[in-house]
Amino acid sequence: MIVQEVVDLLQAEVVAGIGKCDNEISGGYASDLLSYVMGQGKTGNIWVTMQGHQNIVAVASLLGLSAIVIAGDVKPEKETISKAESEEIPLLITTLSVFAVSGLLYEKGVSGA
């Protein structure tokens, strides 16, 4: 699965990194605790969170994540969008809950980290 397929599946809005929507997704991780993501996330994962601050982009960049999905109708800070754009990390937003996003991704074959 690639990021664009997730965009379509979730009817998400891509607010940064649109040029990288062809990134391959190797698995997924859902957490709001940055330390958990740093310890458990894997390169190529898509990360589902409700955090909207720019530290999520730093973690995604450090791990080489394929994309970040901000769920629950949370709006990312402007600095987060700018950072994601400069790091070329797809940043998706959706009104769906973290639980719903995770379930939909799992149904489509995205396994947990």
Residue 23 included in any domain? yes
Residue 90 included in any domain? yes
List, for residues 32-90, the tens digit of each pLDDT value.
999 999 999 999 999 999 999 999 999 999 999 999 999 999 999 999 999 999 999 99
List, for residues 8-19, the tens digit of each pLDDT value.
999 999 999 999
Q: In the numeric block, which tokens belong to residue 81?
A: 């969008």
- Domain total for the chain? 1
List, for residues 88-98, the tens digit of each pLDDT value.
999 999 999 99
Residue 32 included in any domain? yes
Residue 42 included in any domain? yes
pLDDT band at 113 (very low <50, low <70, confident <90, very high): low
Residue 86 included in any domain? yes
> CATH number for the domain including 52?
3.40.1390.20
Residue 112 included in any domain? no
Share of the chain residues as helix, strand and coil, in percent rounded to the nearest 5:
40, 20, 40
Residue 113 included in any domain? no
31-35 contacts at long range (C-beta below 8 A, 24 or more positions apart): 34/59
Q: Containing domain of residue 95, as a range?
A: 3-107
Query: pLDDT at residue 106 above 90?
Result: yes
